[in-house]
Amino acid sequence: MHEYRDRTSECQRCGIPFIWTAGEQRAAGGIEPTRRLCPACAQLLPAVSRERGLVKWYNLRRGYGFISRSTGEDLFFHRDALPADAGAIEPNLLLEYGIEHTAKGPQANQIRVLT
């Protein structure tokens, strides 16, 4: 049985040292992640293969809207991609999402409301 101990690591984004706890190591199965981030940077950056953007507009009646992406392009999203407990979707709401390529072009899926 492997014995896990808290270890000091350095964030690969900001360079600040932080503790990689025994519990986090256990949850990862003892396999070191290829990119380890401190808790602050992990909160600031989207998860792997996901993006973050702001709601540009949303039409509640029709159930769709657009997200302003950091690339400058707008991304379509449908209410089906929102979580059931999303609440009011208003302009400038921060979202994290995956991207699905459909016949009509890319659209956001598996949306998570962050603010």
Structure confidence by residue, pLDDT tens digits, 21-37: 888 888 877 676 656 77
- Domain spans in the chain, listed from the N-terminal domain onward: 7-44, 51-113
What's CA 5's distance to the chain center, in Å? 28
What's CA 105's distance to the chain center, in Å? 21
pLDDT, the chain, mean: 87
CB 13 within 8 A of CB 33: no
CA distances from 4 to 25, 44, 78 (A): 7, 27, 44
Tell me the two tokens of residue 90.
Answer: 């208003």
pLDDT given for residue 18 in this prediction: 84
What's CA 22's distance to the chain center, in Å? 24
Query: Model-level pTM?
Result: 0.64
Which phi-psi region, left, alpha or beta, contains residue 97 (left: φ > 0; alpha: ψ -120 to 50)? beta
Pick the CATH number of 51-113 from 3.40.50.720, 2.60.40.1250, 2.40.50.140, 1.20.140.10: 2.40.50.140
pLDDT in tens, 37-79: 777 777 777 777 899 999 999 999 999 999 999 888 999 999 9
